Chains A and B, each alone.
Chain A
């Protein structure tokens, strides 16, 4: 009897290609996606680089050389000022930004951090070392720590190189003069001449004043992923209507396919917007997300995100042949997009190549928009790119859905 049950179950699985695909292929697909994100095979070319801006307020030989050494670091991607922009801080060998410009770049998310070299403080034990500040965006929680170590190493190396070039005049070398040599040994013993690392001050220019910064970052990621799931589930009603002939009946009435799709799109958009709003209201009440002060940006992002998600869901439904097929296709597509687009793990943890691929996903643009609203606190006009991309996506998806739905009209 048990053998019959096993045999029948196996035969049913074998006769069901979609179930076979879900059981054996999908796990490998997801494994591959996550392996690409976190375990890149070509580490040298695709390891995430820290994008930084540099400001050298008080150019000196040491700070100039330090900037050069930072530029040579393969783990950094240095953002350079536009030669015609006038945002350069000085006419030194390596052009750098003004402090304010560098800080603004961090605020806008153009770079992960900015390194500011300024004049050393008087009375500093290492008077010849410049004052170093790292203005960081704590959205990228890894960058500031890595960057601090890299900057210290660069300054120390530059200092050593300069010291070497300024070697003592012949005859004044400690070893050739017993008195100088004895003084040198004595100084080393007390530690007075031992090179001190520069003090690097890390300043969080965005998240420092926020009540609960991490939640604001992740709320949108989760919200967008579930928005997509609920929209595709709801869009399955289109396939259900087709399967039980309700679609025929609807299209025999005054309703046209255009009206049907637009009606469903409007419904899914409204439900999606309510879903997102509820999630953020909950976040504001329980997790102190500052929703009230970002209502304008939130409303704009939520509207276009919900609209684009609705279009995407209808397109998937129009492509699929059955509700069951829609179920597994949407699961694969949404989880993949969420993984690549940053809903599951922050994109700054991904390699540069994967981050670029991530920009092809719907999620990445939506999350970037919410990030600008809640994290960077940028005004509405700064959301232009995200709103434009999502609106275009929404339009293209609904157009695709309409084209695919033609077969239902003609069948």
Chain B
């Protein structure tokens, strides 16, 4: 192991070379092929300093390869990944990144404290600095009182918190989280996102991959959707909605007494008595729709107006076909 450097883990020459203007992370035209499978096909996007970015995509879209490329574990066939303006292949650049794998990448036969000490040392922390950071991490994840317990006896949520803490001990400037809340209860999810918000408020950029679209909606500043190894959407939630579905609202009506004929402009949903349509202006178009139902002899029993959300955008962009 190289000797521990200064107060933190960043060599002076690196600190000098990093521009405050540079994006925290920049993925430039990444290509990667495994055999016949083209996992990445020119993926490009960037993450600003202090930004929270959600990275979404269906199974097999290339997310895992992308994440592994971003943290240097996969060497792309073409393209590059820049961290604060410098290639991740340069020495010590990756020290500014924290990686939280989806799996519980901790030692179950070590205590929480021993796990933190282990990963802290691997990131170059030593002696007093290490003790301080471990102590901070235990407090941050709310496990001070369980510090000396083996993690094998922890609940899923507690293990997840230790898993996250192991990746942030060295105070990374950007944090990659691969589905950090898989298999945890709502309380633990809330706690984990509170922890991440705390880090973000201190200036850490966050890249989060998740299948919980509500997490992406509420916990990110920007969303990138990838499919077939390419970025298919990149922007804020509002921007994505505007650029895909637009301002239209989905109207869902349940009705009885209707003949087989479906009122014009509506589609019968999977359920026989449910009809859906999209409207650009709810105030103007909804009364006309209800009038058509009445004339067709139907009795409206329920009515819902949905604002488009990330779920609609995601399915609109990636389709509904199963990928596995």
A→B interface (CB under 8 Å):
244-246, 248-255, 259, 409-411
CB of B170 to closest CB in A, whole Å: 8
Cβ 8 A contact of A253, one of B68, B74, B106, B123 = B123
Name the A residues within 8 Å of B119 (CB-CB).
249, 253
Cα distance, A386 to B184, chains bound together (Å): 56
> Which residue of chain A has the shortest Cβ distance to B67 in the bound complex?
A248
Given contacts A244-B105, A249-B99, A249-B119, 18 further A-B contacts (CB under 8 A): A245-B103, A245-B105, A246-B105, A246-B106, A248-B73, A248-B105, A249-B101, A249-B105, A249-B166, A250-B122, A251-B73, A253-B119, A254-B2, A254-B122, A254-B123, A255-B122, A410-B74, A411-B74
Contact B95 A254 (CB under 8 A): yes
Q: A245-B101, A246-B105 are in contact. Are A410 and B1 (CB under 8 A)?
A: no
Contacts A255-B1, A259-B1 given; does A245 touch B95 at CB 8 Å:
no
Give complex CA distance A218, B102 in Å: 49
Q: Is the CB of B2 within 8 A of A252?
A: no
Interface size band for B: 20 to 34
Give the chain B neighbours of A253 by CB distance below 8 A.
119, 122-123
Q: Are B166 and A252 within 8 A (Cβ)?
A: no
Interface residues of B (CB under 8 A from A): 1-2, 9, 68, 71-75, 94-95, 97, 99, 101-107, 119, 122-124, 166-167
Q: Which residues of A contact B75 (CB under 8 A)?
A: 410
How far is A253 from B124 in the complex, measured between Cα atoms in Å? 9
Instruction: Give, as a whole number of angstroms, the nearest-CB distance from B80 to chain A.
Output: 17
Q: How far is the CA of A249 from the CA of B167 in the complex (A)?
A: 8
Cβ contact within 8 Å between B71 and A252: yes
Cα–Cα distance between A411 and B32 once the two chains are bound (Å)? 12
**Complex formed: what's the CA distance from A249 to B119 in Å?**
9
**A246 pairs with B122, CB closer than 8 A:** no
Residues in A with CB closer than 8 Å to B107 are 246
* Interface SS majority for chain B: loop
Q: B73, A244: Cβ atoms under 8 Å?
A: no
Whether A244 touches B104, Cβ cut-off 8 Å, given contacts A252-B72, A254-B1, A254-B124, is yes
Instruction: Note all chain B residues with C-beta closer than 8 A to A410.
Output: 74-75
What B residues does A245 contact at CB under 8 A?
101-103, 105
Q: How far is the CA of A71 from the CA of B83 in the complex (A)?
A: 80
Q: Give me 6 A-to-B residue pairs in the complex whose CB atoms sit less than 8 angstroms apart, sorted by A's number.
A: A246-B103, A246-B106, A250-B122, A252-B71, A253-B119, A410-B74
> B99's contact among A244, A252, A254, A255, by CB below 8 Å, is which?
A252
Residues of A contacting B95 in the complex (Cβ-Cβ under 8 angstroms): 254
Contact partners of A250 in chain B: CB under 8 A: 122
A248 proximity list for chain B (CB < 8 A):
68, 71, 73, 99, 101, 105
Report the separation of the CA atoms of residues A251 and B73 in the bound assembly, to the nearest whole angstrom: 8
- Complex Cα–Cα for A254 and B122 (A): 6
Enumerate chain B residues within 8 angstroms of A259, measured Cβ to Cβ: 1
Chain A hits for B74, CB < 8 A: 410-411
* A-side contacts of B101, CB under 8 Å: 245, 248-249
In the bound complex, CA of A410 to CA of B106 (Å): 22
Shortest A243–chain B CB gap in Å is 8
Chain B positions within 8 Å of A254 at CB level: 1-2, 9, 95, 122-124
**Considering only CB atoms, which chain B residue lies closest to A241 in the complex?**
B105
Chain B hits for A411, CB < 8 A: 74
CB within 8 Å for A244 and B103 given contacts A250-B122, A255-B122 = yes
Closest beta carbon of chain A to B190's beta carbon, Å = 24
Complex: A250 Cα to B119 Cα, angstroms: 8
